[in-house]
Every structure is written in C-alpha cells, then in structure tokens.
C-alpha cells in the first residue's frame, strides 16, 4: 500500500472516530454524579464551559461576584448533603471564590470550587501569564483537599476525588484546578465515557462502637440536670425523626445552636432556647450533637458554664474534635444518623425520663423570658425598633413555617435569632462559625434554587452591602426572595459622630438611604416601610406573590448596641481618647 493511500485511510478512520473533549467530559462527569447546578461567574477560560453546561441541561446560575456564588454553593451543600459547585475564572475570580471555600470548610459544608487556571508551564516559571497564579498551592491550606487535573482522561477521577473529599467524614470545601488547556484536550469519546466515575456511597455511614454508645448512656443515666445541645451538624445530618425521638424519649431539654433552630420546633416543650444561660450554667451532663465547643459555646468553660462540675458527651464524625476545648468523658464518633439510632436502640423501652424538677426549672425560666419579651414585640413605633419590626416577622414565619429565613447583621442577627421561632429543620441560615457578613444574597439565591421555597432574608444594612449587587441576580432569575433591610443608618447604630473632622464616623452610612430603589432598578418590587404594620403588609404581599422584593425597613438609628450580643469580644484600649 502506498504511503499516500495509507495516510488517506488513517484520516478517514480519524474522521469516523467519535471524539470528546475536556469541556464535555467535565459536564458529563458532573451530570453522572447528580451535580446539576453550578453557581459561578463567567470569563476566560470558563465562559464556554458555562454555556455548554447550560446547553447540556445543567442549571447555571451566574452571579455578579464570585464570593456570593461560592456562598451559594456552600449553603447548597448544607441543604442537600451534595457538594455545591462554584465555578470561577483564574486568579482574581479564584481568590474571590476562595473566601467562600474557606467559609464552607470552617462551617463543615460540602462544596467544590472549580477554577479555570493559567498555563502550568508559564505559571511555574513565573513568566507573567494572563491571570497568573499558583492557585492549587494557595487553595491548599484553606480547604479540606485540593486537586489539579492535567489530562482529559483524568477528569472523571478528579471529580470523584473531589466529591468524596467534600462529603465523606466531616464535610468541607474542596478545590479543583482545571488549567485552560484541559478544556480543549480531545480524546476518543468511548474511552472518555469509560474514564468517568459515578461515585458510589460518597459519604459512607460511620457506625459508632457499641462500647462508646454504652458509655454515653451510662453517663446520661447518672445525670440530674441533663442537656442536649443540637448544632448545625445535626441539622446537616438529616436524621430529623431520630433526633426528635431521642429528645422525646429521654425527656432531656435541648438547646439549639442558631442554624439548628427548627430541628425540633422552638415551641417544643423541651426547647431551652429561651433559657440559654440557665441551662448552660446549671446542667451537669451535656450531650453535644453536631456542635463544637468553640467560641459560640464559650469553649465549654468560664462564666457561661457556671461553677457546677460538668460532664460532656459528644457525638461527632470527626474524632479529632473530641477534647478540643475540655475533656469529653463519653466521645461517640460516627455519623449522627447512625449514632442517634444506636443510642435509641440501646436505650431500650424502659428508659426513665430526665428528672422532672430540672425540666420544670428549665420551662419556668423559658416562660419567664418569653413573657418578658412578648410586650416588646407588639409595639407599632415609628421609627421602628428591632423588637417591633421582628415581632411582625416572627408571626409571618409562624404562618409560613416552610419559608427559609436568611439572617445576617449584628443586632439584626442576634435579636432575630431570639425573636423569630423556627418550626422546621434547615430553615434558618445565618453567619455561622465565623460570624461572617456577606452570606446573605448568595444563601438566599441558593435556598430558593435548591428548595423552591420562599425565602425571607433579614439583613442589617451593613450586612446587605457585602452582597447587595446580587439583587440583580435575584431579579434576573425571578426568585421568590423577599429581602428586609433593617436600615439603622450604619454598623450597629447610625448615631456615631466624628468629633474631630468632617468625615463621617467609621460606623455610619448615608442617612435615610433608600435600598428599595435598588430593587426597582432591576424590575423588582421596592417598598419603604416605616411602621411594623407597613412592614407586615409588604412582606406578606411579597411572600404571596413570590416576586423579588426589597423592603427598606427604617429602624431607629439609636436602637442597636455595639456588636449586638457579642460586644464583650471587642478589645478595650486603656489609652482611648474620650
Ligand atoms: O438565657 P438568657 O437570660 O441569657 O437570655 C438569652 C435567651 O435565653 C433569650 N431568648 C429568648 N427570650 C425570649 N424569647 C425567646 N424566644 C428567646 N430566645 C432566646 O435571649 C437571650 C439571648 O439568647 P441567645 O441569642 O441565644 O444567647 P446569646 O447569649 O447571645 O448567645 C451567645 C452566642 C455567641 C451563641 C450568640 O450571641 C451568637 O450566636 N452570636 C453570633 C454573633 C455573630 O456571629 N455576630 C456577627 C458578627 S458581629 C461583627 O463581627 C460584625 N461586622 C464585622 C465584619 C464581619 N462580621 N464580617 C466581615 C466579612 N467583615 C466585617 C460587621 C461589619 S457585624 C457587622 C455589621 C453590623 O451592622 P448591620 O447594619 O449589618 O447590623 P446592625 O447591628 O443591625 O446595625
Ligand atoms: P454549631 O455552629 O451549630 O455549633 P458546628 O459547626 O460548630 O455547629 O459543629 C458542627 C459539627 O458537626 C462539626 O464538628 C462536624 O464535624 C459535625 N458533623 C457534621 N456533619 C456530621 C454528620 N453527618 N455526622 C456527625 N457529625 C457531623
Ligand atoms: Mg445597621
């Protein structure tokens, strides 16, 4: 056979061979694993990837800033137990997304940040490529795992590793680096399809040792004043029925951490949310379920916990969490679903409920605090104070318990947490472990997309500013999100003055700002509310219509306190000038 004929035949064979490429393999790998929503911001080198993913049936939600897209992905992970996917461009886009990836890891939410990156050869020689950065190295210390894929044939394995790392054990954020060249790499379609991996049992059950379960129950049996603390790990676990059964069978009062509110209803007779100080101080045995003894629980020691000796039982999937702050006398390591069902089984049918005098003490304190707060919630003052405005929102959530509440700010956060009762699991989403501002719009968007439920975002005016541009995204996707901005003209208060010059004080904003106009600019509904009655009407109308709405709720600028309920964390200067 002549060389010319041979070359012609090879060309024909190539033409007949079906091909795929990095773009398509990545899309197929995501779909194969049920990852059908991407939150991100387009640009070089991932613009076409977003277009092709959308054309292939993946929902692509395009944001105005990567941090908000990343926050959306992180809370999607919390709500669904599947890793939320965020897609960014290289260097600056990647860095914008990285804050959210670190936030996801800190909060134990499964998320994958996929970033396009520049050419390895140029980046490694530091020759100044377009958006040059060694992204993998930078991501590594800030997430649970980080991987780079260099060959199209490895895309399936790369994504499988990312999924497993994100959701198995303690969930967290994973970085997946995809250099620009990878997307265009071509390979045989059949071999490509074979290279994909459908991850089986991504978060395997982790069964606790029977001896650990027995030890925990022995400690619990001896308790005179037991307490169960439910954290957002318990909400994440989706073991709602068993957790409720454990509380009710044991008759032990429970204290929900902020994002665990609603796991059992806040109005449950055993809820100690409104008796927080009492139960922390006086309990003798504390069982932590998916909650860490970090700053939010005063590290398990000090004034908050009183002087009476305490024993801690801790249920957590992460063995290293045990003894992190104080001694854990009964560690139960495993996934919460398996641990709680093992505890229930081992309790048997004749478990005697928690001592009645303790339960009575807790409920009396709770009723006292609830009664103290009640009249404050009914005022119709104008300008509004926090309690008057929140009283209205509390009733709205009571009437619409399946709505999702997103909440950030300082006073706006701390007071809303106490005032607004929650009735269903995973309905309260907030600033989490870092107390970070900026989660608001990303969370609201993902909550609407992932659950299809109406979302009420209660935002401090400062908090809102961190992600406020995403109101355009909310309007663009026509999401059922109602944002209420508690507008007190600033951070904590709008009353600070600069005593030496004409610049505004660092904590204040333009007085009387009209955030509602922002929403109108994008075709949404904007309302300016000056009384609780006006606020109530506007929120109900928004929730009924499902139209994107922003309500500028005018709050008395003097009503807030420095840093809300955590002013004690501010260092004091001995030399501060008056
Ligand atoms: O038992 P006692 O008697 O003690 O009473 C307790 C409960 O029993 C009772 N209670 C009830 N009573 C009656 N009825 C009911 N239903 C009820 N429920 C409870 O109420 C009390 C209090 O209960 P609580 O809240 O459970 O208990 P407590 O003691 O507060 O709990 C302690 C904590 C630590 C668990 C809790 O306080 C908590 O979870 N705190 C979280 C705080 C947090 O994370 N804050 C956000 C950070 S603040 C600051 O950092 C801000 N920044 C800086 C910044 C940040 N964060 N991020 C970034 C990226 N950059 C900068 C900024 C810029 S906040 C902020 C903006 C603020 O301004 P905004 O305009 O947005 O907001 P405004 O302040 O509104 O102006
Ligand atoms: P909170 O802020 O509500 O107190 P944290 O974020 O501090 O909650 O704690 C959540 C804990 O839950 C983490 O220690 C994490 O390891 C754990 N966790 C998360 N998911 C599970 C699960 N499925 N099973 C067991 N523990 C879990
Ligand atoms: Mg404010």
- pLDDT band for position 2 (cuts 50, 70, 90): low
Domain assignment present for residue 116? The answer is: yes
Give the number of other Cβ atoms within 10 Å of residue 348's Cβ.
9
Taking alpha carbons only, the member of 435, 414, 413, 566 closest to residue 484 is 413
Domain assignment present for residue 576? The answer is: no
Give the mean pLDDT of 259-285. Answer: 98
Q: How wide is the angle at C-alpha 535 spanned by C-alphas 529 and 537, nearest 5°?
A: 120
| 363 CB within 6 A, ligand 1 | no
If you measure from the C-alpha of residue 428 to the centroid of ligand 1, how many angstroms do you get, rounded to a whole number?
A: 14
| 67 CB within 6 A, ligand 1 | no
**Cα 295 from Cα 508, distance rounded (Å):** 28
If you measure from the C-alpha of residue 316 to the centroid of ligand 2, how many angstroms do you get, rounded to a whole number?
A: 6
If you measure from the C-alpha of residue 359 to the centroid of ligand 1, how many angstroms do you get, rounded to a whole number?
A: 26
Q: Does the pLDDT value for residue 577 go beyond 80?
A: no
**Cα 134 from Cα 115, distance rounded (Å):** 12
Domain boundary among 365, 387, 421: 365
If you measure from the C-alpha of residue 462 to the centroid of ligand 3, how many angstroms do you get, rounded to a whole number?
A: 5
Give the number of other Cβ atoms within 10 Å of residue 390's Cβ.
27
Question: For residue 259, which atom of ligand 2 is closest to its CA?
Answer: 3
Q: Does the pLDDT value for residue 370 go beyond 60?
A: yes
The parent domain of residue 133 ranges over: 18-195
Percentage of residues of the chain with pLDDT beyond 90? 96
Residues 330 and 429 in one domain: no
- pLDDT band for position 391 (cuts 50, 70, 90): very high
Residues 90 and 56 in one domain: yes
> What is the tally of structural domains in the chain?
3
If you measure from the C-alpha of residue 566 to the centroid of ligand 1, how many angstroms do you get, rounded to a whole number?
A: 6
Beta bridge partners of 58: none
Residues 333 and 446 in one domain: no
**Cα 529 from Cα 383, distance rounded (Å):** 9
Question: For residue 415, which atom of ligand 1 is closest to its CA?
Answer: 25
Structure tokens at 234: 């318990």
Q: What pLDDT is stored for residue 14 in this prediction? A: 58
**Cα 112 from Cα 546, distance rounded (Å):** 30
For the segment 309-319, what is each residue's pLDDT rounded down to a tens digit?
Answer: 999 999 999 99
Q: What pLDDT is stored for residue 576 in this prediction? A: 78
Residues 384 and 357 in one domain: no
Question: For residue 292, which atom of ligand 2 is closest to its CA?
Answer: 7
Pairing of strands 455-460, 226-230: unpaired
User: In whole numbers, what is the pLDDT of the chain averaged over residues?
Assistant: 96
Residues 262 and 422 sit within 8 Å (Cβ to Cβ): yes
For the segment 67-91, what is each residue's pLDDT rounded down to a tens digit?
Answer: 999 999 999 999 999 999 999 999 9
If you measure from the C-alpha of residue 390 to the centroid of ligand 3, how many angstroms do you get, rounded to a whole number?
A: 14
Residues 337 and 316 sit within 8 Å (Cβ to Cβ): no
Residues 40 and 189 in one domain: yes
DSSP count for the chain of H helices, then E strands:
23, 19
Taking alpha carbons only, the member of 154, 79, 72 closest to residue 113 is 72
**Cα 149 from Cα 78, distance rounded (Å):** 26
| 272 CB within 6 A, ligand 1 | no
Domain assignment present for residue 70? The answer is: yes
Domain boundary among 311, 330, 365: 365
Residues 236 and 292 in one domain: yes
Structure tokens at 57: 């049936």
If you measure from the C-alpha of residue 499 to the centroid of ligand 3, how many angstroms do you get, rounded to a whole number?
A: 21
Domain boundary among 365, 393, 412: 365
Question: For residue 239, which atom of ligand 2 is closest to its CA?
Answer: 23
Give the number of other Cβ atoms within 10 Å of residue 551's Cβ.
26
Q: 383 preceded by cis ω (within 30°)?
A: yes
Residues 426 and 503 in one domain: yes
Domain assignment present for residue 1? The answer is: no
For the segment 81-140, what is each residue's pLDDT rounded down to a tens digit?
Answer: 999 999 999 999 999 999 999 999 999 999 999 999 999 999 999 999 999 999 999 999
Domain assignment present for residue 571? The answer is: no
- pLDDT band for position 308 (cuts 50, 70, 90): confident
**Domain CATH for 472:** 3.40.50.970
Three-state DSSP class for residue 195 = helix
**Cα 324 from Cα 24, distance rounded (Å):** 45
- pLDDT band for position 7 (cuts 50, 70, 90): low
**Ligand 2 pocket test, candidate residues 317, 430, 435, most atoms within 8 A of CB:** 317
**Cα 109 from Cα 97, distance rounded (Å):** 15
For the segment 11-61, what is each residue's pLDDT rounded down to a tens digit?
Answer: 555 557 899 999 999 999 999 999 999 999 999 999 999 999 999 999 999
Give the mean pLDDT of 234-253. Answer: 98
If you measure from the C-alpha of residue 315 to the centroid of ligand 2, how many angstroms do you get, rounded to a whole number?
A: 9
If you measure from the C-alpha of residue 464 to the centroid of ligand 2, how many angstroms do you get, rounded to a whole number?
A: 27
Q: Which ligand is located closest to the Cα atom of residue 261? A: 2
Return the residue whose CA atom lies nearest to atom 29 of ligand 1.
565
| 136 CB within 6 A, ligand 1 | no
For the segment 560-576, what is each residue's pLDDT rounded down to a tens digit?
Answer: 999 999 999 999 998 87
Domain assignment present for residue 4? The answer is: no
List, as ranges, residues with CB under 5 A of the ion ligand 3: 460-461, 488
Domain assignment present for residue 404? The answer is: yes
Residues with CB under 6 A from ligand 2: 107-108, 170-171, 231-233, 236-237, 257, 259-260, 290-292, 294, 296, 316-318, 321, 335-336, 433
Residues 188 and 263 in one domain: no
Pairing of strands 19-21, 186-188: antiparallel
Domain assignment present for residue 427? The answer is: yes
Q: What pLDDT is stored for residue 4 in this prediction? A: 52
**Cα 470 from Cα 116, distance rounded (Å):** 23
Q: Does the pLDDT value for residue 1 go beyond 80?
A: no
Residues 191 and 215 in one domain: no
Q: What pLDDT is stored for residue 51 in this prediction? A: 98
Give the mean pLDDT of 389-403. Answer: 98
**Ligand 1 pocket test, candidate residues 369, 383, 385, 458, most atoms within 8 A of CB:** 369
Percentage of residues of the chain with pLDDT beyond 70? 97
Give the number of other Cβ atoms within 10 Å of residue 327's Cβ.
11
Residues 420 and 548 in one domain: yes
Give the mean pLDDT of 363-387. Answer: 96
- pLDDT band for position 578 (cuts 50, 70, 90): low
For the segment 171-215, what is each residue's pLDDT rounded down to a tens digit?
Answer: 999 999 999 999 999 999 999 999 999 999 999 999 999 999 999
For the segment 443-502, what is each residue's pLDDT rounded down to a tens digit?
Answer: 999 999 999 999 999 999 999 999 999 999 999 999 999 999 999 999 999 999 999 999
Residues 34 and 180 in one domain: yes
Residues 64 and 181 in one domain: yes
For the segment 324-341, what is each residue's pLDDT rounded down to a tens digit?
Answer: 999 999 999 999 999 999
């Amino acid at each position: 056979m002549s060389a010319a004929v041979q070359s012609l035949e090879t060309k024909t064979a190539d033409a007949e061979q079906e091909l795929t490429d990095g773009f398509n393999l990545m899309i197929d790998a995501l779909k194969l694993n049920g990852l059908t929503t991407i939150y991100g911001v387009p640009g070089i080198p991932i613009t076409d990837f977003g277009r092709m993913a959308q054309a292939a049936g993946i929902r692509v939600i395009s944001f105005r800033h990567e941090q908000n897209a990343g926050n959306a992905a992180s809370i999607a992970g919390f709500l669904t137990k599947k890793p939320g996917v965020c897609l960014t461009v290289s260097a600056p886009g990647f860095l914008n997304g990285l804050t959210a990836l670190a936030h996801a890891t800190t909060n134990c939410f499964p998320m994958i940040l996929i970033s396009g990156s520049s050419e390895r050869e140029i980046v490694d020689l530091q020759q100044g490529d377009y958006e040059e950065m060694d992204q993998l190295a930078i991501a590594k210390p800030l997430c649970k795992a980080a991987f780079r894929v260099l060959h199209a044939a490895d895309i399936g394995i790369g994504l499988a590793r990312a999924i497993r790392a994100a959701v198995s054990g303690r969930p967290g954020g994973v970085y997946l680096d995809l250099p620009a060249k990878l997307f265009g790499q071509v390979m045989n379609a059949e071999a490509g399809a074979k290279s994909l991996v459908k991850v089986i049992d991504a978060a395997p059950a982790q069964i606790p040792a029977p001896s650990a379960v027995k030890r925990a129950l022995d400690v619990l049996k001896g308790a005179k004043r037991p307490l169960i603390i439910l954290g957002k790990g318990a909400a994440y676990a989706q073991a709602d029925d068993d957790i409720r059964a454990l509380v009710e069978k044991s008759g032990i009062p429970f204290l929900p951490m902020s994002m665990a509110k609603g796991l059992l209803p806040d109005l449950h007779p055993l809820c100690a949310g409104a008796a927080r100080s009492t139960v922390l101080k006086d309990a003798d045995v504390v069982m932590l379920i998916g909650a860490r003894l970090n700053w939010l629980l005063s590290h398990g020691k000090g004034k908050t916990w009183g002087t009476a000796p305490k024993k801690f039982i801790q249920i957590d999937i992460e063995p290293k969490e045990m003894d992190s702050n104080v001694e854990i006398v009964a560690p139960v390591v495993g996934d919460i679903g398996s641990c709680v069902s093992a505890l229930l089984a081992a309790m048997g049918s004749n478990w005697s409920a928690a001592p009645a005098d303790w339960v009575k003490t807790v409920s009396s304190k709770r009723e006292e605090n609830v009664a103290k707060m009640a009249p404050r919630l009914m005022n119709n003052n104008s300008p509004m104070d926090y309690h008057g405005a929140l009283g209205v929102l509390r009733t709205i959530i009571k009437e619409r318990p399946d709505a999702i509440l997103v909440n950030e700010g300082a006073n706006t956060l701390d007071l809303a947490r106490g005032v607004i009762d929650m009735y269903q699991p995973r309905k309260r989403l907030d600033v989490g472990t870092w107390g970070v501002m900026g989660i608001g719009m990303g969370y609201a968007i993902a909550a609407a997309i992932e659950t299809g439920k109406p979302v009420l975002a209660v935002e401090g005016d400062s908090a809102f500013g961190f992600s406020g541009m995403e109101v355009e995204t909310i309007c663009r996707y026509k999401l059922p999100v109602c944002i209420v901005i508690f507008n007190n003209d600033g951070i904590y208060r709008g009353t600070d003055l600069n005593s030496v010059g004409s610049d505004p004080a660092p904590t204040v904003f333009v007085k009387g700002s009209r955030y509602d106009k922002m929403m109108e600019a994008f075709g949404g509904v904007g309302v300016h509310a000056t009384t609780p009655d006006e606020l109530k009407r506007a929120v109900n109308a928004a929730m009924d219509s499902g139209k994107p709405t922003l309500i500028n709720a005018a709050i008395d600028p003097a009503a807030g306190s420095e840093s809300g309920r955590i002013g004690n964390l501010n260092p004091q200067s001995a030399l501060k000038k008056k």
